[in-house]
Amino acid sequence: MTTPLTGFTGDQLMPMGIIDLPVTFGDSPRDVVSQVSFIELPRLTSKSNSPPEMELRPCEPHDQAEDILVHQPARPTGGPMENTEEVDLGDEKITKIGTVLPKEDRDLVRACLLRNRDIFACEGEIMPGIDKEIAEHQIATKQGMRPVVQKKRKQSWEKRKAIKTEVEKLLKTGAIREVKYPEWLANPVLVLKSNGQWRMCIDYTDLNKACPKTPFPLPSIDAMIDSTAGFKYLSFMDAYSGYNQIRMSPADEEKTSFVTDEGLYCYKVMPFGLKNAGAEYQKMVSKVFKEELGEIMEAYIDDMVVKSCNGPDHVSHLEKVFAKMRQVGMRLNPKKSFFCLSSGKFLGFIISERGIEAHPDKCQAVVNLKSPKSIKEVQGLTGRIAALSRFISQSAMLCKPFFDVIKKKTQEFVWGPECQEAFEKIKEYLSTPPIISHPLKGEPLYLYISTNDDAISAALVREEEGTQKPVYFISRILRDAETRYPMIEKSAFAIVTAVRKLRPYFQAHSIRVVTNMPLRKALGQFNVAGRLLKWAIELSEFDITYLSRTAYKSQALADFIVQGTSGSFTPVEEVWEVYVDGASSDKGTGLGVEIISPEGDRFKYALKVNFSPSHNVAEYEAFIAGLQLVAAAGAKSIRVRSDSQLIVNQILKEYKTQDETLIKYLRKVEQLIGGFDNVLVEHVPRGQNETADALSKLAKSGLDKEHPITVLEIPLPSIELPEPTVFQLHHEEEWYSPIWSYLAEGILPQDKNLARKIKRWSLEFTIIEDALCKKGYHHPWLTCVGKVKAAELLSETHKGICGSHQGPRTLGKRIMRQGYYWPTLRKDAEDLVRRCAQCQFHARIDHKPPNKLKPITSPWPFDIWGMDILGPFPQAKGNLKFIVVAVEYFTKWIEVKALSLITSQKITDFLEHHIVYRFGIAHTIITDNGRQFTGAPFKNYCRGLGIEINFASVCHPQSNGLAEVSNRTILEGLKKKIEGAKSTWPEYLSEVVWAYNTTPRSATERSPYALVYGMEAVIPMEIVHPTLRTISYSTQRNAERRAEEIEMIHELREEASARQAEYQRKMRKVFDKKVAPKHYQPGDWVLRRAAAAGKHVGKLDPAWDGPFEIVKSAGERAFHLKDTQGKLLANSWNASDLRKFYP
């Protein structure tokens, strides 16, 4: 087989051959065997160097929906077009910041990011989600549409594994839940991402057909791009799983159901793939940032950009945007967000202060294409060109030969010379596309029009400092009747076409149409007939004036006019093009210069540098060499292109230069530029400067024999460098210096005691080959080392290539066994290990309690209550999923209630009706830090009744131990009662609680019922098997006995209190034996147990996070903390979850 296979990106792959194999369709006995031809391809990806393996697998149908998802182009996102550096936000959150803008401004932005680290999400984090009052997605279906339950599709083993992993991840983050009987059901579809991993999507094709399209519009991309260009400071932000941050309406959750091998699930958050998901997200963004959009930021769905003119304003704008995000619960993806850039990718364009540029990847996709060999490939070519039409003047005219080929579908495909010529012109044009400018508010714009027999074109431009810069190119092929319009009507039609395409520009600016046609008379009067009258009325609402064409002020406009319009024009002066690049590394420095004459002749120079400059100095040397070489060729007008954005912007005065050396180089460049009549300096991507880049690397490598390349040498810098300053360093005496002096030269200290000590100590030392050595027990001689070498040995042995962060004792032994010695080895090893950040963050968790046990003691019944929430449980009748539990600390009495929702108001109602109305107003309530207890309704109600709320330390259930024990008892009882019928748990809840309240407790040896009512409850067993009190029951005697029991209830409770005190004493005695005291005080730095902070801690994840500073104590065992940025952490943290940190 000799025909290559062509992919969607234009890449081609040559098959290895064709093989015929028997394929069985169906199952026996109704199966069919048929010979099928398979194309054999080379292995595309492999994670190892092992040869390809052959294996037999069952064939599977290829779903059309999967094709649509796989080949649907992804929406372009924002990103950098310059070098970036990482900013560690902590908690494994790393984002990036530009390196081109001034350092002081970058530092301000970096500090801003660290202050707002909480709005960045990390992998697997449970996000708060957008406030339901802001956005909640509802799925409306058309009337009469019947639900569709898709049949489960077969998946390969690899895809089933990926689906299972994704489902577990979504369950863990609370994004999905199990569902039993959904009316709508879809299948998951796996899409292979560029990094080789699988992305799980849901095929909502049937559901989307049943949903009407929401009328909420998406913003205009052109308007956004124009509004963003021209700003010096840009920050691109991407929402973390943006759609998943919006919650689904509970009534519509089950419409998103999908089927897997593990079961049926539905989304609790808005999933990807729904018809109106993008509009819903855009509506939310427009609502949240209604004051910022168009002013300091732009947002297209979940892609956002903050724009500013200077550094301080940019920080202020970021703070404002972050505050809005925090207010509504929005979170950003740190990996896909980039801050403080001078240029970047946004919605498929490159935007910067200079203007708007075409995306280099889109241009290269056309430049790298081979000549089409079918109509389908020609259609793909025209589609790629259409995406770049804003940047291509006369695009329709250039593509006319392609359209002619497409029209001849029934004929044999012919790619003639005319098509190839047009193809090469487009490639040449896209190799250096123009930079599109953005119009300023209220300024007039110029419209140049061009017509010929087959197409019309227009160029909208603006004028800045006497130079005209393009804003938008449009072009259109004329249809059959339109080709027969007179020339003046074609020109008028070009204006009308421009108005319809660029209406926002015509509405916001006065337009000056530059033409040689008498259009002012033709369209300025209403006594004309036909099409001209219709167009004149259409154009009358805009501020349009007509000017005669004189001269062209920019090369792009000259090219535009030359390509499409016959007649005279002002010629453009011949321009020489110069490409420069410098490469500097440890292996050497080389410069590359390519000069292209106006006639197209190319001159290549590789210059070897005989000194060691920095990278920026090498770029300046290349620029200077290029200017000197082109000046020697007699050029007067030049265009110099470099891929160093820093150097170009310094020359253009867009960046300030602080370095003294670079200032001298800049002055040298300005001096050389003064010798030319016209100089244009441009920044180009590295991909468009490949020749100069290759030349610089060639010069650095020293290969100077290639004939077409001129090789030169630069012995000295182009400027005079200042003399280096010499600093005299003070040499500190090492510990072994007195011993060395005594053994080598016989010199002793003047102090007699010290001299005697040196004599005695020197018996263990000797000098071997100019090295001081000490006698060892496990090693004949140990080499003595000083402070610097000792620190290097400790660091390398502990955390170097062969180190594994051993403990101090092992570390010291290993260094001595290697043959090294210094007197403070053990102490230095202990200090190094104690201060090693990795050792501290990955230290083992000590489960010993840090403080002695202090049980909570209630002085009287109903004085102290502990409250907690159990759940979620399997959904039961009435949507019940949770249990609120209250336990009284003196009697151990339990009150419970099953709830469907656990809001703060629901908990307040439970407190009011089940505790206050039945047992009176409590003195203290102990709870955890859940939002239900910290919410305003609960806190206000308790404050109104004078009830004190004590919050337990985070992730420290012992602070509310009785409630935790009660929860465990209720759970164990329910498990044994329901016998597999999980949704029936509310029916057995009262039975479990009744059993608890009527059972004597170990601490009091009395049941809670007896301590509350003064007697033991009559239980069902006494009815089945009567006891004395049920057999001899008498109403009169019962009343008298109850009176006696009530009078003696105080004695009963005092006995219980004494027993409880003795029980707590014994428990405290056992507990206190395990205590490993930890003493902290304000100002100490500590680490916090990562699991206690709610973070997922995997096998290789740090067990601790931080560091944090202790602000104040919250009792004897709990502390309030703040992070390194001074932000106070919510709630208090128990000493058992903290560990001393050594900076």
Three-state DSSP string of 436-490: ECCCCCCCCEEEEEEECCCEEEEEEEEEECCEEEEEEEEEEECCCCHHHCCHHHH
For the cut 50, the answer to whether the pLDDT of residue 55 exceeds it is no
Architecture in CATH for domain 355-436: 2-Layer Sandwich (3.30)
Position 178 confidence tier, pLDDT thresholds 50, 70, 90: very high
Query: What does pLDDT average to over the chain?
Result: 79
Domain range annotation of the chain: 1-50, 79-347, 355-436, 437-570, 576-714, 763-841, 864-1064, 1085-1140
Q: Is the peptide bond preceding residue 51 cis, with omega within 30 degrees of 0?
A: no
Mean pLDDT of 231-238: 89
At 765, list the tokens: 């030392």
User: Can you give the length of the chain in residues?
Assistant: 1143
> Closest by alpha carbon to 995, among 1026, 1020, 1015?
1020
- The H or E element spanning position 126 is none
Look up the CATH architecture of domain 576-714: 2-Layer Sandwich (3.30)
What residue spans of 923-1048 are helical by DSSP H? Answer: 931-934, 936-945, 961-978, 985-997, 1008-1013, 1020-1024, 1028-1031, 1035-1047
H/E run at residue 632: helix 615-632
Q: What is the mean pLDDT of residues 539-566?
A: 55
- The C-alpha torsion from 979 through 980 and 986 to 992, rounded to 10°, is 30
Confidence of residue 556 (pLDDT cuts 50, 70, 90): very low
The pLDDT value recorded for residue 264 is 93
Average pLDDT over residues 432-445: 82
Selection from 101-110, 558-567, 608-617 with the highest mean pLDDT: 101-110
Q: What is the spatial distance between Cα 800 and Cα 828, in angstroms, rounded to a whole number?
A: 17
Give me the pLDDT at residue 1, please. 55
CATH architecture of 864-1064: 2-Layer Sandwich (3.30)
- Architecture per CATH, 763-841: Orthogonal Bundle (1.10)
pLDDT at 568 over 50: no
**Any idea which of 39-48, 537-546, 978-987 has the lowest mean pLDDT?**
39-48
> Which fold would CATH assign to domain 1085-1140?
SH3 type barrels. (2.30.30)
Q: How many CB atoms lie within 10 A of CB 821?
A: 22
Which has more pLDDT, 674 or 1078? 674
Q: Of 850, 900, 831, whose CA–CA distance to 1116 is shortest?
A: 850
Amino acid at 298: E
Question: Alpha helices, DSSP H only, in 213-342?
Answer: 221-228, 277-288, 311-328
CA gap 841, 90 in Å, rounded: 12
74-78, 141-145, 228-232: the lowest-pLDDT one: 74-78
- CB burial of 36-56 (b: ≥16 within 10 Å; e: otherwise) equals eeeeeeeeeeeeeeeeeeeee
The 10s digit of each residue's pLDDT in 885-905 is 999 988 889 999 999 998 999
For 136-180, the DSSP string reads EE-----TTPPP-BPPPPP--HHHHHHHHHHHHHHHHTTSEEE-S
Q: Is the peptide bond before 102 cis (omega within 30 degrees of 0)?
A: no
CB 325, CB 332: distance < 8 Å: yes
| Integer Cα distance of 842 and 84 in angstroms | 29
- Kindly give the interhelix angle for 103-115 and 311-328, rounded to the nearest 10 degrees: 10
Interval 1121-1139 mean pLDDT: 77
pLDDT for res 847: 64
Does the domain at residues 79-347 carry the CATH identifier 3.40.50.280? no
CATH number, domain 437-570? 3.10.20.370
- Same CATH topology for 355-436 and 763-841? no
